[in-house]
Amino acid sequence: MDFVKELRWRGMLHDIMPGTEEELNKKMTSGYIGFDPTADSLHVGHLTQIMTLIHFQRAGHKPFALVGGATGMVGDPSGKSAERNLLSEDTLNHNVSCLENQLKKFLDFDCGANSAVMVNNFDWFKNFSFLDFIRDVGKHLTVNYMMAKDSVRKRLEGETGMSFTEFSYQLVQGYDFYYLWKEKNCQVQMGGSDQWGNIVTGTELIRRKSGGSAFALTTQLIKKEDGTKFGKTESGAVWLDPKKTSAYKFYQFWLNTSDEDAKSWIRIFTLKSQQEIELLEVEHNQEPHLRTLQKALAEDITVRTHSEKALETALKTSDFLFGNGSLEFLLELNQSAVLDAFEGIPQFKISNKQLLSGIILTDLLTELTTVFPSKGEARKMIQGGGVSVNKEKVLDSGQTFKLDNLINGQFLIIQKGKKNFYLLIAE
RNA sequence: GGGGGGGUUCCAGAGCGGUCAAAUGGGACGGACUGUAAAUCCGUUACUUCGGUUUCGAAGGUUCGAAUCCUUCCCCCCCCA
């Protein structure tokens, strides 16, 4: 398998430094991608980078996953219009270990020579003093060079300015590359296209400091066809951690991609072959309403990110919530089967006592649950026809609910809009 | 240290004594149409027991009445040294 070719046909390649492809085709090469520990989980936006490393390893090269315990302390100004808040050391440590655990799922760390390796740049920065750094690293690059970078220039032109800390970021990341190049024979750095500037600082540093050569390659930033940001839903980022984004929601996120996006994303986010994908596309075009591509995409990623079992549950839940005649289906299940099917959607407990006297819908949606943040909002949404209980639209915000509204004597299914469900359990 | 500009509802950005819960745009959410798609159209976008109640960097003050005027403080940007 030819790594660069692979990225090309998948439409992932954005920019590549001259000589990189030749170098990679010569021999097994080590390459790395850095991940910033800005949160305690990776999100779907990181998946492109993860896929890049997977392809890298499948092509017989040795992938390094770098977690930025040190760079995370500085803050990457790339793509940021304002200075960022620094994270505390505790948070950072916690995040680093979370990310490491997630990355372990995707790469093979035990397959001989090209086993993946996990590194944390805090390890080589913790004992690097400020003075040593500015003498050994800072001296090799001019401020002029650093200021020409997009990430810096934009901030200098803008209104917010930029701290020295963030200005230095590229040096810190640049040194990572130098260190890995020198100590681990890591010759290639990869990353999203927004990282080009930072990566080049690294190759430049290697060249000036040691006269060595290193290579770089960046991947396309994922964009949606309609121009909106990839990876966001109404409830925020789509995380890989099932505690932050349930497998059901995760599956739904991918299922809901548009036809256009599905075509490019199935190439980027799955390992399916070109042939396989083209076949799926033909199928999809014949009967677009079946959403063959979206389903294949969603299933593939869900299994690899979570598990076969998680996918099954997600499918079951989706089937139930979006299928037809589903209330009957629910009646046949016992309580644990219901809870299992609803695992991925928000649940609330209410007491039978309250239901005995009847609960007004708006209270139910705001005080007893967090479906809506305020009664006013709940009322407006109900009036707009956006709320259903047990699959039936409710138009009177004053309606009360009692014991006999419960399905199976214990459940109430609240629906906000078309796709947001909540399960209320009475006990 | 000197001079200038500025902090408004999710964001951008109007308002510059009452008609302001605050224009406009974006975003977000909801509805219709569909395929749980895209495009399009429509609606909502501080809280409320619908009487009112709390909002315009913070605290005071002037006024019948302030986002709008005054005082102090905090923060941001630009220019000069």
Q: What CATH number is given for A3-219 in this structure?
A: 3.40.50.620
Give me the CA A237–C1' B45 separation in Å, rounded.
21
Using CB atoms within 10 A of its CB, is residue A248 exposed (0-12), middle (13-18) or buried (19+)? buried
Residues with CB under 7 A from strand B: A 159-161, 225-226, 228, 233-234, 252, 255-260, 288-289, 291, 294, 318-319, 322, 366, 373-377, 379-381, 384-386, 416-420
Amino acid at A303: V
DSSP H/E element including A340: helix A335-341
Q: Is A233 labeled as catalytic in the residue annotation?
A: yes
Q: Is A229 labeled as catalytic in the residue annotation?
A: yes
Q: Is the ipTM of this complex over 0.90?
A: no
Closest-lying nucleotide for A288 based on CA to C1': B35
Q: What CATH number is given for A232-322 in this structure?
A: 1.10.240.10
Give the right CATH number for A326-426 from 3.10.290.10, 3.40.50.300, 3.40.190.10, 3.40.640.10: 3.10.290.10
pLDDT < 70 regions, chain A: 79-85, 157-161, 234-235, 324-329
Nucleotides of B under 7 A from a protein CB: 27-32, 34-39, 43-50, 76-78
Encode pLDDT of A359-399 as tens digits. 999 999 998 998 998 999 999 999 999 999 988 899 998 89
Give me the CA A172–C1' B6 separation in Å, rounded.
34
pLDDT for A307: 95
Give me the CA A360–C1' B74 separation in Å, rounded.
45
DSSP H/E element including A175: helix A164-184
Q: Is A38 labeled as catalytic in the residue annotation?
A: yes
Give me the CA A299–C1' B46 separation in Å, rounded.
42
Q: Is A194 labeled as catalytic in the residue annotation?
A: yes
Q: Is A46 labeled as catalytic in the residue annotation?
A: yes
Encode pLDDT of A393-425 as tens digits. 999 988 999 998 888 888 899 999 999 999 999
**DSSP strand pairing (A411-416 vs A420-426):** antiparallel
DSSP string, A20-40: HHHHHHHS--EEEEEE--SSS
> What does the domain layout of chain A look like in residue ranges?
3-219, 232-322, 326-426
pLDDT for A84: 66
Catalytic residue among A80, A184, A244, A316: A80
Q: Is A232 labeled as catalytic in the residue annotation?
A: yes
Give me the CA A77–C1' B80 separation in Å, rounded.
29
Please answer whether residues A36 and A200 qualify as being in contact, where contact means their C-beta atoms are separated by less than 8 angstroms: no
Give me the CA A423–C1' B39 separation in Å, rounded.
33
Closest-lying nucleotide for A292 based on CA to C1': B35
